[in-house]
A and B are shown apart, each in its own frame.
Chain A
C-alpha cells in the first residue's frame, strides 16, 4: 500500500512541470544569480569599493595617499572631473576630496580646515562606509608614519643622533569629514530608510499572484468570453483590472510607509522619513504599479492554470528581486551584475524610491526610472493583449 502511495506521488510530481520548475530550476537560477551577485564579496582579489578622488592639494602627501589607495585591492578608482556630480551620477560609492592645504595635516596639530571630505552615496550602508573609512585611515596613517620616519632619519643623519620622541595622533573626526550626498551636514541615512524602499518594491510585485489567479479563473470559467459577448472591449477589460489594482498598490505603499514611520520606531529602530517630494513618490509608485500590473496580466494570459500562475508568478517575483538589488544591495554586486540588474523593473523602482527616501529627489530626479517603468508596463500590456487575442481565437 505504502509503496503504491510513494510511486503515485513520484509520478505526479515528475509529470508536473511547474512543480519541477519550482523545485529545481528556480533554486538553480536563484543560486546562480545570488552567487554572481555576491561573487566579489568573498574574493580578496576583487574590489568591493568604487571610489573617485579629487585632489585640490596636489602635494607629495596627497599623492602618497592616492598611491596607497590605488594599491589597495579592495578599492577600484574611477576618474572624474573637477566639476564632479553626486556619487550616483559619477557611478561610484564614495568621492574623496583632498582639500588645498591637506599637507598641513602632517605638520600642524589642528588640521580641522584641511580634513579629507568624503561624499557618500545615500544607499551605502554603515558597514560599507566603515570599511572605506578604515582604508582611508590606514592610508593616511601609513603616509604620516612614513613622513615621520623620514623626518627622523634625516634629522639623525644631520645630527648623528636620534631625534626626540614625536607624538603622532590620529583623530578620525579631524582627519575626515563624511557627508552623505543630498543630505544635510551631519545627517545620516538610517537602516530603515535604506531597507524599506526595497520591501515596498518587492511587496508591490506580489500583486502578480492575486491578479493572475482571478484573471485565469475568469478565463477558465468563460466569464471573459461572456463579457466579450456583452460588447466589453479589451481596453475596458484591461482597464477594469489596472485601475483597482493600482489603487490597491497605492494603499500597499502607504501602509508600508506607515509601518516604517510609526511601527518600526516602537521596536527601537529609526523611523522612516520621506526626504524627497511627495509628487516624486506618488509618480514612482504609479509607474511601478503599472509595470507590476502589466507583468501580472502578461503572466495571466500566458499561463493556463491558477497553479501555474502562482508558481511562475512567485518564481518571477523572487528572481526579479534577486536580480534587481532587492535581496542583495547593488553596490556589493560585480559591475556586470550591476548592469544586468537593469533588466529588472524592480531595480528601476528601487532607484526611484531611493531617490525619494534617501536622496531628497524631486520629480525631475525620478523621471528616468519612471519612464522605464511605464514603458515596461505598457510593453507588457501590449504583449498580453496580443497573447490574449491569440488564445481567445484559438479556444473559440
Chain B
C-alpha cells in the first residue's frame, strides 16, 4: 500500500531522512517510533505531500506520489497532533466545513458525517461549540474530521497527547475499529504501551534511518536476553521508586513494567518477595522477551543497530 525506497530529504545541509526504505501493507496498524527529531514528522509530511523530497521513490496505492498527489490525498487523511479545527464553530459546523471543502457529494458527505460522529461518539454534542468540549472530546472531533472522506489510509500523529487514560483508551479502541474495517493506519506516538496495544508492525526510526522494523511479536522476542519483564498493576510512583532503590537490579521501565537484570530463580524470587512486602501486585512475568520501551531505549541510545 505504501512503498518508500531510498528516500533522502535534506534541510539545507542537515539530513532529515537518510536513504530510508519502508513498506506498509494494506490493512495494518503501523507504528512509527522515534525520538524527537528522528524524522517521523518529515516522513509523515512527505507521505501527505506537504514536503518535497530530494531523492528516492514513494508510491501509495501503487501510484507514484508526486504524479498522483491529488488522487492519493483523496483517499488519505491526516490527524495532526494539534487540534486542527475551529474552536468557535460547533462540532457539526466543523464537520460540515471540512467535508464541504473536500467537494464530497452531499449524500456521501451526510453518510460520512454520520459514520464519523458514530465512530467517535460525538452524537450528543453536535451543536456544542468545539471550545467547550473536554480534552478527550476535542481529540475525538480531531479524528472524526479525518474520517469525512472515508479514507483508506489514516495518518495519526500522536493523537492522544494530553488526555486522560480513559479517553486515551477510547481513542485506541476507535483506531482498532479501523483495522477491522480494513483501513491502513500509520501511527506515531511516544507512548510505548499504546503502540504495543494497537500496532501490528512497528518501525523504529532514529537520525533519519529505520533501525528496526518488523511485527511487534518478532521485535519483542529475544531468546538470548537474561532480562525478565515483571508486569505489575498500576502503583504509585514513589512506591515503585522505593522498590528499585532496595534492589538495584530492578529497573522501572514504564508505569506497569519493571525490568529485572538476571533470570536466575533466586533473583526472580527475591524480586517477587520484595514487591509483595511493599504491596505491589504482580500481573505477569515474561522470560526471554523485552518491552518495546526497553528495546526502543537500547536501540536509540546505542545508535544504529542491525535491521
Whether B50 pairs with A229 at a CB distance below 8 angstroms is yes
Interface size class of A (residues with CB under 8 A): 10 to 19
Chain A: CB-nearest residue to B45? A396
Q: How far is the CB of B295 from chain A (nearest CB, A)?
A: 29
Q: How far is the CB of A72 from chain B (nearest CB, A)?
A: 61
The residues of A that contact B74 with a CB separation of less than 8 Å are 231
Whether A226 pairs with B83 at a CB distance below 8 angstroms is no
Binds B, one of A123-131, A217-225, A313-321: A217-225
Q: How far is the CA of A232 from the CA of B85 in the complex (A)?
A: 15
- Asked if B247 is at the interface of the complex by the 8 Å CB criterion, the answer is no
Chain A: CB-nearest residue to B155? A229
Q: How far is the CB of A191 from chain B (nearest CB, A)?
A: 40
- Asked if B76 is at the interface of the complex by the 8 Å CB criterion, the answer is yes
Whether B86 pairs with A229 at a CB distance below 8 angstroms is no
A-B contact count (CB 8 A): 49
Q: How far is the CA of A232 from the CA of B77 in the complex (A)?
A: 13
Whether A230 pairs with B101 at a CB distance below 8 angstroms is yes
Whether A223 pairs with B77 at a CB distance below 8 angstroms is no
Q: How far is the CA of A230 from the CA of B77 in the complex (A)?
A: 8
Whether A225 pairs with B73 at a CB distance below 8 angstroms is no
Whether B78 pairs with A226 at a CB distance below 8 angstroms is yes
- Asked if A227 is at the interface of the complex by the 8 Å CB criterion, the answer is yes
- Asked if B29 is at the interface of the complex by the 8 Å CB criterion, the answer is no
Q: How far is the CB of B158 from chain A (nearest CB, A)?
A: 12
Whether A222 pairs with B82 at a CB distance below 8 angstroms is yes
Whether B86 pairs with A392 at a CB distance below 8 angstroms is no
Q: How far is the CA of A256 from the CA of B130 in the complex (A)?
A: 34
Whether A226 pairs with B51 at a CB distance below 8 angstroms is no
Whether B82 pairs with A231 at a CB distance below 8 angstroms is no
Please encode chain A, from 194 to 237, with 1 for each CB lying within 8 Å of some chain B CB and 0 for all others. Answer: 00000000000000000000000000111101111111100000
- Asked if A393 is at the interface of the complex by the 8 Å CB criterion, the answer is yes
Contacts A223-B85, A225-B84, A226-B80 given; does A232 touch B50 at CB 8 Å: no
Whether B84 pairs with A231 at a CB distance below 8 angstroms is no
Please encode chain A, from 228 to 266, with 1 for each CB lying within 8 Å of some chain B CB and 0 for all others. Answer: 111110000000000000000000000000000000000
Whether A229 pairs with B78 at a CB distance below 8 angstroms is yes
Main secondary structure of the interface of B (DSSP, over half): loop
Contacts A229-B78, A230-B98 given; does A396 touch B84 at CB 8 Å: no
Whether B49 pairs with A229 at a CB distance below 8 angstroms is yes
Whether A396 pairs with B102 at a CB distance below 8 angstroms is no
The residues of B that contact A221 with a CB separation of less than 8 Å are 82-85
Chain A: CB-nearest residue to B74? A231
Chain A: CB-nearest residue to B85? A223
Contacting B at CB under 8 A, from A257-296, are none
Q: How far is the CA of A37 from the CA of B275 in the complex (A)?
A: 82
Whether B102 pairs with A230 at a CB distance below 8 angstroms is yes
The residues of B that contact A223 with a CB separation of less than 8 Å are 84-86
Please encode chain B, from 85 to 121, with 1 for each CB lying within 8 Å of some chain A CB and 0 for all others. Answer: 1100000000000100110000000000000000000
Whether A393 pairs with B78 at a CB distance below 8 angstroms is no
Whether A396 pairs with B73 at a CB distance below 8 angstroms is no
Most central of A222, A228, A392 by chain B CB within 10 Å: A222
Q: How far is the CA of A377 from the CA of B272 in the complex (A)?
A: 74
Q: How far is the CA of A228 from the CA of B76 in the complex (A)?
A: 12
Whether A227 pairs with B51 at a CB distance below 8 angstroms is no
The residues of A that contact B73 with a CB separation of less than 8 Å are 229-231
* Residues of A bordering B, CB below 8 Å: 220-223, 225-232, 392-393, 396
Apart from the given pairs A226-B84, A226-B98, 15 other A-B contacts in the complex at a CB distance below 8 Å: A221-B82, A221-B85, A222-B80, A225-B80, A225-B84, A228-B50, A229-B48, A229-B50, A229-B76, A230-B98, A230-B101, A230-B149, A393-B51, A393-B52, A396-B50
A-B contact pairs, 27 of them (CB 8 A): A220-B82, A221-B82, A221-B83, A221-B84, A221-B85, A222-B82, A222-B84, A223-B85, A223-B86, A225-B80, A226-B84, A226-B98, A227-B101, A228-B49, A229-B50, A229-B76, A230-B98, A230-B101, A230-B102, A231-B70, A231-B102, A232-B101, A392-B50, A393-B51, A396-B41, A396-B45, A396-B51
